Structure 1
Amino acid sequence: MEMLHKLNCNDEFSYIMPVNPLRLLLVYNKAHGNLMAYPWMFGHDGYFEVDVLAPEGHLIECSQWIQNRISYTNEDDLMSTLLSALSSGRYDWMHCIDESSRDIILRHCDDPILLPYLPWPASSPLSRNCSNKVELYQWCRDAGLPVPASFEVNDLDRLKQCAAEIGYPCMLKGAQGSRGATVFLLEDESQCELILKDHKGIQSWLVQEFLTGLAGTTSMVCGHGEAYATCSSYKNVMLNGGLGTSVVKQFVRSEELERLAFLVAKATQYHGATGFDWMMNANGQVCIIDPHFGRGPSSMMVSHIGGVRIDQALYAVLTKGSVLPVQPMSAAYVWIFPQCLHLLLEGLIEAWRVACPLRRDVTIFWFGRREWRLFLKQSAALLGGRARVLLGRFKRSIRFSRNRLSDCDSVI
């Protein structure tokens, strides 16, 4: 193992610092939002020197925590650029940030250059089926992991049949993930045709049992069949009507969630950082509603606020160190940027009621230390987008008013 030395911070958050950090390559494709904070999460304590592979001109290039920026021109060039970087022998580990980069890479999972960097054994069926939610849920079911009842559908008739069999309300999800953009709650049969008509480009869907209870996320670092670190939180406020990315989270520690995390680590034999979304019923029973195998959850970077250091845990996995103890939480609730700015632009009453930022047990995660350029650019993009929406509404209202005046003149 690398030589380590103790950093004398305060007693609550003292930690072990490596003399010689490991080299980590983060792979971006379509990632945006708070996923831009991954370089800070892995690099700010000195456990890793972080390089990033991303499309040319990607916003992540603004991060202050990147040592080297490797660019590719389009998705067709992603694999050749990645294999060239990995074949250099420079990197101790690789981590995919989003589903699109993971899916492209896993199509080449048999490449000998890529094999040492896969997050599970080379023979694992996860390399083939984790890109498709239907196959992934079936794998989870076969592995003894609790998941909702679900069916694959490809046309309207099959959708209506399966939805009726599961019972309304039920969930409808695109088989390929999209950070909540293709997740819908079906309350009756009339919605089936409308949703399929509006999303003709999606060939395969997943109809899933609708579960009631508290929703949340568990971020975890696994290795050698164990969970080295886990951090769980409730999704108190989310975008997209409660089906999208988390805005306000509340940290939670639960024996049932810990047990499930260790079950996931053992079943997957996962190596690296990952997580899953879950639903907890009134009896405390937990069901996995969205596994994030092959990547990490979008809220993983706030784990340090919940007392869990993801970078330190991954370092321990890669150097065969010890499973890490959980530290005290520095806050019970966290607002996550840039989603919180998006919510503020739409109206913040709901989030303010759940966790007022003025309370002592509430904090706001912006982007991480020294990431002011990312903060400003993300803010400008959101504000600019909001301004365009408002301008469009204003133009439509003027056009509508003019048409009404013209109609009145013609009548006169």
Structure 2
Amino acid sequence: MQTVRLGIIGLGNMGKGHIGYLKKGEVSGVVLTAVSDSVPASLGWAKEQLGDQVALFADPYEMMDSGLVDGILIATPHFSHPELAIACFERGLHVLCEKPAGVYTKQVREMNDASRKSNAKFSMMYNQRTNPLYVKLKDLIDSGELGEIKRTNWIITNWYRSQSYYDSGTWRATWAGEGGGVLLNQDPHQLDLWQWTIGMMPTRVRAFCYFGKHRDIEVEDDVTAFVEYENGATGVFVTTTGEAPGTNRLEISGDRGKIVIEDNKLTFWRLRVSEPEFNRAYKGGFGQPECWKMDIPVEGSYPDHKGITQNWVNAILRDEPLIAPGEEGIKGLMLSNAMLLSTWTDNWVDLPIDEEKFYEYLQERMANSKFKKEVTSK
């Protein structure tokens, strides 16, 4: 294969965004050959923008069976991601999936199982993994510069959304339409980066989710979660769509100092000797380790969505390692599911979660949701 023939399912904002950089030729080794959407107006837009060179399908499965595509980019509502991906894998098609991987981990686990049975390349659209800030953070942690992780804190409250945003679609912020709120819609990138940069998942979670606290919606719009890790480290994750101005601050402490990412800067407070080493040797009472504050240079471009797409194409053509392997999509979703389940049960939740219990709680909320109609693009 010299060129990947690409099909896109879903012509909402995300699907159109991907088409934008593909039309400009900003990803090499790929050609857009087909698109699918059940909304006639969306197909009309595609016809106008792409002409006769791209085939149009109202049925995504017809596109999969058309022989016109080698890989599929899924940009549909959350619930449909696993179902469509599984259908692709069964046909030997490569998959690039928009975030989140799905709504509940039971569904995503089935998608991952189907991926492993195929020879297809499967990637998640975790474009934040191409951000040089987080690439450098992961490098500092993986190399041992920070030492063993002791605490993680992420305050991510700059997701402000007005009531008019939620009112713009009847499916928005409903259990049946989206399957969740700020954790599933706004935070998938942060939940992924939280575990990806430090290289470990929590062992248990205690969370407090508030549903419709700031807006007239069904789902969570304010969350504070506390987590524990196997090595004894702890962490806090705070998020909301109801504060202005918001904050985006990630702080990770280790036994060799702490790293903070805020305002697009990475700062490392580095201890000259590790805290445990200082503690063993120091006898003077109120002293503390010598600390150097360093603004870490962050180099490299930020290719964003097209960077993940290019990596996926390269993986198909040249077996390049994936930046965001699709099977890892379950990790961030596991965190959001655990936070909701902890709230619903008013208790600690061990990871991996009880997937059947989460599914049952979710089904109850979907059954009582004000939204009943399925949507096909996001």
TM-score of the alignment, normalized to the shorter chain, above 0.5:
no
- Normalising by structure 2, what TM-score? 0.34
- Normalising by structure 1, what TM-score? 0.32
**Larger relative contact order (C-alpha < 8 A, sep ≥ 6)?**
2
